[in-house]
Chain A
Amino acid sequence: MTASETLVRMEHIVKRFPGVVANAGVTFEAAAGEVHALLGENGAGKTTLMNILYGIYQPDEGEIYIRGQEVRIRSPRDAIALGIGMVHQHFMLVHPHTVAENIILGLSDVPFAYPDRAVKEKIAEFSERYGLRVDPDAYIWQLSAGEQQRVEIVKALYRGAEILILDEPTSMLTPQETQELFGILRRMAEEGRTIIFITHKLEEVMAVSDRVTVLRKGKVVGTMKTSETNQRELARLMVGREVLFQLDKPPATPGKVVLEVERLNALNDKGVPALRDVSFVIREGEILGIAGVAGNGQKELVEVITGLRPATQGRVLIDGEDVTNKSPREILAKGVAHVPEERMHMGMVPNMSIAENLILKTYDRPPFSRGLFLDPKAIREHAERVVKEYGVSTPSIWTPVKLLSGGNIQRVILARELSIKPRLIVASHPTYGLDVGATEYVRKLLIEQRNKGVAILLVSEDLEEIFALSDRIAVMFEGRIMGILDAEQADVETVGALMAGIQPGGEAD
């Protein structure tokens, strides 16, 4: 192997989205024949950076050089023409079609008739070279996630990709398939191709990459040869070690057990296990924060507890009562409040008024309902009272919710959820997208509830928030609880390491 030529160089890339700077002056380069890992938490900016390289986004500032030449990549077509291929986290395949049909989709230089014949030879070639075993006549829906991924890789290679970007490629794979993938990537790198590998899993970085670049909050915090670093150092870089913002919080005095989750298992939308033997308890008056990079089962955990997703094994108990797989309504009746991740999409009916949204969960019982009929007076009074109590800024209680700001929407949701006097609050990314004032308000409210004896399950990507609010911290990785730590005693490094999949040194959970 000759000295590696720098194939990709991205300089001072800045990309802004409304309300956030995804990339704040990132300089990144990758060489021919190397496997380069891009490491960071969600929101660190790694996917954005690669989407810029692939032409899905345009940078606000900065330059890109491919093989030394400055280029402008305006669309994936341009990227493909430059020899850049990308395998997304969520595969883009047409399920009822065959592998061959998927590979040639959009290509113009295949024959008009029976195009899949021409493809087969070339696919066989890739299979030989890299061990990318794919059956051109198989239907996509017949294939496992690993096999589908191989199709995606062949798709990129078929279009002449010399620079291959893979976004969280192992999220759907079995350990076996992951090893096979690594073998394939190594072989491609040995041939001189450049592999850029987005991940948050440290084990993988150490296993397959030659170099690693760590991003945090839109900036590069380090680029180094993998052989010259270790997991702990990477974890520290990934999550940082600033002193975290502490909220005024009296010590917890946990009471009875409110929520008990026992060896919970569930599948995600693709039928792949998302929760594996998850167990924990939450008591009155305490906040359990679930830390972890998004996509490790937190969403599914919330959904199973609130009745929106079936559990395949295990139990959920509220105040000792088994509520596993009960309907959302029944679970709500047990006193479970749910502040959902997708505020507008799931938590609200955007065209309806504040008043009507406030009764979304309680419309079928007194005082809002008497018999078959809604009581408009009760609804109005409740809305007026609550809007004042929670400081919702709005011209009227009849204003459609979609006109409110994010912070006000969250106030409405909180007002609604808390009005049932819950025993347990499941709060999923409660301050996501909110400004500083709104964020502070929400956090204070949660602490207040906790002080009143409510049990709170907090899911958040914001590690600062987890540390600020939680009494105990559970870390999820690949559907498992890696560990549950006392917030007082936990430090960012340890938590960061668990988040990235490093097994705890001492006893397992």
Chain B
Amino acid sequence: MDVHVFWTALIAAIPAGTPYLFATLGEIYAERSGILNLGVEGMMIMGAVTAFGTTLSTGNPWLGVLAAAIVGGLMASIHAFISITLRANQTVSGLALTMFGLGLSGLIGRRYIGTPLPARLPRWHIPVLGDIPLLGPLFFQHDPLVYLSLLLVLVMGFILFYTRPGITIRSVGESPATADAMGVNVFLVRYVCTIIGGMLAGLGGAYLSVVYTPAWIEGMTAGAGWIAIALTIFALWSPFRALLGAYLFGGVKVLQYRLQPLGISPNLLNMLPFVLTIVVLLAATGEVQRKRIGMPAALGIPYERGEK
């Protein structure tokens, strides 16, 4: 295979993986606090349609992106209310949100089909660094949201592992009773993390409709939300590892058709994230492994304070 083709594919992996990255970062925070959010797909697609529509009517793609984040956050707050305050079944709540998002976005997006975007986000070309042969295009010629996602990886990873709020979040997901006894407001922490998760999912969807494609197509997330959920596990709940995972899966997405002439079926390739997730999940269960690897112990279990 042509090296040049390979290299351009590698460069393309980054924008391809960026929606996954946003959504995964959000889901990592939600799950770290103990909330399983299966509504990512719904939040992403609602983000996509919101961003597209807002950009269309205001002419400003940044507003579109912002609106997408807000919508994602709103949807997540519903999930948060049902899961945290009502202590209902998180799985079902997430699924319902996904279905709702898919349906509503389809309806809203009817009139956007085939409409071109009036404005696009600029492609940044970082001076000097962007001119380096080979590495330039790879790292320094992307759109601002890519850089935002990278920044978020650093910031969110740093906060989670090296700061006081990070300890709080992780403790809430591991042992909410202990955190509660130490005066932490478990409900608040979970609410915040879940809503952050939704906002970032919305952002990921916005990227798809406003930057990556850019267009509105019904169902355009095409399972990106489920991949993000898989990625969260694959990344072992670490924003840093999520970076690698997202670009890996983005690369797979980009390469799937280019590898076809080599006899590798794109469909089998697409299976990979899901198979790997099961493998990782299996390795991550079991008390000892869990402690070393980091699946939050209280994930998916509603917290009910015992008699106080």
Give Cα A110 to B167, complex, Å: 12
Q: Is the CB of A92 within 8 A of B181?
A: yes
Asked if B171 and A115 make an inter-chain contact with CB atoms under 8 angstroms apart, the answer reads no
Closest beta carbon of chain A to B32's beta carbon, Å: 12
Q: Within the assembled complex, what's the spacing in Å between the Cα atoms of A76 and B182? A: 8
Which A residues are CB-close (under 8 A) to B79? none
Query: What 1/0 flags go to B133-173 for Cβ under 8 Å of A?
Result: 00000000000000000000000001000111101101100
List of A residues within 8 angstroms of B167 by Cβ:
97, 101, 104-105, 115
Q: Which residues of B contact A110 (CB under 8 A)?
A: 164
Task: Let me know if B183 and A106 touch, CB within 8 A.
Answer: yes
B178 touches A92 (CB 8 A): yes
How many Å from the CB of B198 to the closest CB on chain A? 25
In the complex, the answer to whether A94 meets B171 with C-beta atoms within 8 Å is yes
Bound complex: CA A104 to CA B178 (Å): 12
Q: Counting CB contacts under 8 A, is B87 at the interface?
A: no
Cα–Cα, bound, A101→B165 (Å) = 11
In Å, the complex CA distance between A101 and B168 comes to: 9
The answer, among B163, B184, B292, for a CB contact under 8 Å with A113, is: B163
Q: Are A95 and B184 in contact (CB under 8 A)?
A: no
A86-100 interface (Cβ within 8 A of B): 92-97
CA distance A114 to B175 in the complex (A): 21
A 383-425 binary contact with B (CB < 8 Å = 1; else 0): 0000000000000000000000000000000000000000000
Count of A-B residue pairs with CB < 8 Å:
66
Contacts of A111 in B (CB 8 A): 164
Q: Would A96 and B163 be within 8 Å (CB), given that A56-B308, A106-B179, A106-B183 are in contact?
A: no
Pick the contact of A94: B163, B178, B183, B308 (CB < 8 A): B178
Cβ of A116 to closest chain B Cβ, rounded Å: 8
**By the criterion CB–CB under 8 Å, are B181 and A76 in contact?**
yes
How far is B307's CA from A56's CA once the two chains are assembled, in angstroms? Answer: 9
B163 & A95 in contact (Cβ 8 Å cutoff)? no
**Is there an interface contact between A115 and B182, defined as CB atoms closer than 8 Å?**
no
Residue in B closest to A113 when the chains form the complex, CB atoms:
B163
Chain A residues whose CB sits within 8 angstroms of the CB of B170 once the complex forms: 94, 97, 101
Point out the residues of chain B lying under 8 angstroms from A76, CB to CB: 181, 183
User: Contact: A105 with B171, CB < 8 Å?
Assistant: yes
Return the CB mask of A110-132 against B: 1 if under 8 Å, else 0. Answer: 11111100000000000000000
Nearest Cβ distance between residue B183 and chain A, in whole angstroms? 4
Residue in B162, B164, B292, B297 with the greatest tally of chain A CB atoms within 10 Å: B164
Q: Is the CB of A104 within 8 A of B164?
A: yes
CB distance from B244 to the nearest CB of A (A): 22
Q: Looking across the interface, which residue of chain B has its beta carbon closest to that of A56? A: B308
CB pair B183 A115 closer than 8 Å: no
Chain A proximity of B181: nearest CB distance (Å): 5
Smallest distance from the beta carbon of B18 to chain A beta carbons, Å? 27
CB-nearest residue of chain B relative to A115? B164
Query: In the complex the two chains form, is B291's CB within 8 Å of A113's CB?
Result: no
Nearest chain A residue, comparing its CB with the CB of B294: A96
Docked CA distance A504–B158 (Å): 60
Interface status of A370 (Cβ within 8 A of chain B): no
CA gap between A303 and B253 in the complex, in Å: 54
Residue pair A97, B171 in contact (C-beta under 8 Å): yes
Q: Is the pair B182, A92 in contact by a Cβ cutoff of 8 Å? A: yes
Any A CB within 8 A of the CB of B218: no
Question: Given the interface contacts A105-B184, A106-B184, does A94 sit within 8 Å of B174 by beta carbon?
Answer: yes
Residues of A within 8 A of B269 (CB): none
Once the chains are docked, how many angstroms separate the CA of A111 from the CA of B164? 7
Provide the A216-241 mask, 1 if CB < 8 A to any CB of B, else 0.
Answer: 00000000000000000000000000
Residue B177 at the chain A interface, CB threshold 8 Å = yes
Q: Would you give the shortest CB distance from B202 to chain A, in whole angstroms?
A: 27
Contact at B291–A112, with CB atoms within 8 Å? no
Closest to B184 in A: A106
The answer to whether B178 touches A93 (Cβ under 8 A) is yes
Q: How far is the CA of A75 from the CA of B171 in the complex (A)?
A: 20
Residues in A whose Cβ lies below 8 Å from that of B163: 112-115
Return the chain B residue nearest A95 by Cβ: B291
> CB of A141 within 8 A of chain B?
yes
Q: Is the CB of B175 within 8 A of A94?
A: yes
Which residues of A lie under 8 Å from residue B164 when comparing CB positions? 104, 107, 110-113, 115
CB contacts (< 8 Å) of A96 on chain B: these are 174, 290-292, 294, 297
Cβ contact within 8 Å between B182 and A106: yes
Q: Measured between C-beta atoms, what is the minimum distance from A308 to chain B in Å?
A: 20
Asked if B168 and A106 sit within 8 Å, CB to CB, the answer is yes
- A363 interfacial contact with B, CB 8 Å: no
A393 to B100 CA separation, bound complex (whole angstroms): 49
A94: chain B residues within 8 A (beta carbon): 170-171, 174-175, 178-179
B239 CB to nearest A CB, Å: 16
Contacts of B158 in A (CB 8 A): 113
User: CA A114 – CA B161 in complex, angstroms?
Assistant: 9
Contact with B178, one of A105, A112, A113 (Cβ below 8 angstroms): A105
Of B177, B178, B294, the most chain A CB neighbours within 10 A belong to B178
A329 at the interface (CB under 8 A from B): no
- Closest 8 pairs between A and B when the two form their complex, measured CB to CB: A106-B182, A106-B183, A92-B178, A96-B291, A115-B164, A94-B175, A105-B182, A94-B174
Additional 16 contacts, C-beta under 8 A, given A76-B181, A92-B182: A56-B308, A77-B183, A92-B177, A96-B297, A97-B167, A97-B171, A105-B171, A105-B182, A105-B184, A106-B168, A112-B163, A113-B162, A113-B164, A114-B162, A115-B164, A141-B291
Sample of 16 A–B contacts (CB below 8 Å): A77-B183, A92-B175, A92-B177, A92-B181, A94-B170, A94-B175, A96-B292, A101-B167, A101-B171, A105-B178, A105-B182, A106-B182, A111-B164, A112-B164, A112-B165, A115-B164
